[in-house]
Structure 1
């Protein structure tokens, strides 16, 4: 792992897992994809069906949680294996 990547990961790790999941999973994936899909719906159909907005939020929050959790685990494993290789 490059030193710059290690420094970035250490800063993100200091946030804690819960906060990392919110900042790098739930917010960008959950809110971001909900806004994007709602805009696509608005452009395509000239209206937004309010029933689908909460469903999108729930679905994309779950996706964001799992993506961020997988990234956290991958970086933990990568950081751990890198620190074991170097004396």
Structure 2
């Protein structure tokens, strides 16, 4: 348990930041799910649009420190290859 005033303050800050990070992570997952659903339905145009919307959202998560850079790049790469396979 936090004892000093500074550690109490840090605990409050962490609590607030955790909520923000949860919201960001949830938003990213929603965008990724939309891409997955478009790929599953076989709609190449919708999948491409969904990927174009999801990519900046993932990279924003990287700049905010919610997702690691390599993780985001890997996810984008794998989704892009799956979307490309739909059009071929």
Indicate the TM-score class for this superposition, using the shorter chain for normalisation: 0.3 to 0.5
Higher relative CO (Cα under 8 Å, sequence separation at least 6) belongs to 1
Q: TM-score, normalised by structure 2?
A: 0.39
Q: TM-score, normalised by structure 1?
A: 0.39
